[in-house]
Amino acid sequence: MKKMASIVVAILLSIMPINIAFANNNSTINISSKSAILMDVGSGQILYEKNIHEKLPPASVTKVMTMLLVVEALDSGKIKLNDNVQITGNASGMGGSQIFLEPGEAQTVDTLLKGIAVASANDACVAMAEYIAGSVEDFVGMMNTKAKELGMKDTNFVNTNGLPVENHYTSAYDIAIMSKELLKHDTINKYLTTWMDKVVVGKKQVTVGLANTNKMVKHYQGTTGVKTGFTQQAKYCLSASAKRGDTHLVAVTLGAQTSPERFKDASSLLNFGFANYESIKLCSKDDNVATLTLDKAEENKINLVAKDDLTVLIKKGSSKDFVKKIKVYDNPNLPLKGGTKLGQVEVYKDKKLIGKVDLVNTKDINKASYIQMLQRVIDSML
């Protein structure tokens, strides 16, 4: 259907230093958790690792994927925050952490998402799964499909909330990947960073106070999320993200023996990252980056924008040149929906790819009419 255009724009950015030779020196940080990772959200670079592909029970950190599917449904317009969700007996019967939903009541997506993100509500997870997919089983199928799309090879989900069940597992690396993906969605930011709130639930309209299970929201500078978890089998788990300037990092710790240990480990990882690395933003989401010429389209000049922010991570104090290449597809088949990938920006150092972002069209592209094509032929002759 598509092939890459033969003309590639290569720009030497000598004024923009970068060094990708990261010192992944695990001995500089003392981590007590069974498994841990520190990842740059922008580039995906791994700055620290300890047993990152070990398959472990994630407890409620599972809800990172649940929230990701909810915000994707919101951003696509499939659901809205003010939609009313009918609560089933299945949802209200979930044990563990909950907001005490009752069968037969209706709650908004906004309330349920708040319950999941702030209070780690198992009942709200099931309610949203049933609303989006029709059943928990189908929603779990969506979770596993999304995991495969993201390249999460150490993961198998069996439920939406992380309650103990056989064959439900993931890894620190996979959690970092899905956390990174969740953090791309602006919709979720206010929920992940809410410290305290309340919801009104039940047929008697009872007010339930919510306190964020992620204590770093209050106690760590620049915290942006993400999610805690605990079961007797999984022990204390955490995906914690923070942003300072353009540098956005996520630290995942699994299998800590105590709750303070997981927060201490995550803080140590984030401190290490912010002390030693910084991100350089090359372009922002929705920036116009390239123009695609399509002779057979209604509008033959198509603006291509960055699908996400493009950042590269450098070690503080380092300075080296890198090359940015802009590639666009040649003669894609028409028509095309808005948001279709039609190119890519790639950043290289010593011929090694260190960062990339997709280029997409902002609106639908339709075929030109016969009259338009004839007029273009006439114009070219004149």
Q: How far apart are CA 113 and CA 127, in angstroms?
A: 10
d(CA 237, CA 257) in angstroms, rounded, equals 9
Question: Furthest-apart CA pair in the chain: how many Å?
Answer: 78
Q: What is the DSSP string of 184-221?
A: T-GGGHHHHT--EEEEEETTTTEEEEEE-S-THHHHST
Q: Which residues of the chain have pLDDT under 50?
A: 1-21, 23
Q: What integer pLDDT is reported at residue 14 of this predicted model?
A: 32
- In whole angstroms, give the CA distance from residue 127 to residue 91: 5
Amino acid residing at 346: E
What 3-state DSSP class applies to 308?
Answer: coil
Question: Beta strand 46-50 with 106-108: parallel, antiparallel or unpaired?
Answer: unpaired
Superfamily for domain range 26-280: DD-peptidase/beta-lactamase superfamily (3.40.710.10)
Cis omega (within 30 of 0) on the bond before 17?
no
- Where are the domains positioned within the chain? 3-18+284-381, 26-280
How far is residue 193 CA from its own chain's centroid?
Answer: 15
Over the stretch 133-184, which tens digit does the pLDDT of each residue have?
999 999 999 999 999 999 999 999 999 999 999 999 999 999 999 999 999 9
CATH code, 3-18+284-381: 2.60.410
Buried b / exposed e along 116-133 (16+ C-beta atoms within 10 A): bbbbbbbbbbbbbbbbbb
Burial of residue 12 (CB within 10 Å: 0-12, 13-18, 19+) is exposed
pLDDT at 320: 56
Chain centroid, CA 176 distance in Å: 9
pLDDT given at position 355: 85
For the stretch 203-250, pLDDT in tens is 889 999 999 999 999 999 999 999 999 999 999 999 999 999 999 999
pTM recorded for the entire structure: 0.86
The catalytic residues are 60, 63, 120
Please give the pLDDT value at position 319: 56
pLDDT of 19 reads: 32
What pLDDT sits at residue 374? Answer: 75
Q: Hey, is 14 helix, strand or coil?
A: coil
Per DSSP, the three-state class of 175 is: helix
H helices, E strands: number in the chain: 10, 18
Task: Find tokens 């339930």 and name the residue.
Answer: 208
User: Which pair of structure tokens corresponds to residue 49?
Assistant: 């690792």
- Separation of alpha carbons 167 and 34, rounded Å: 19
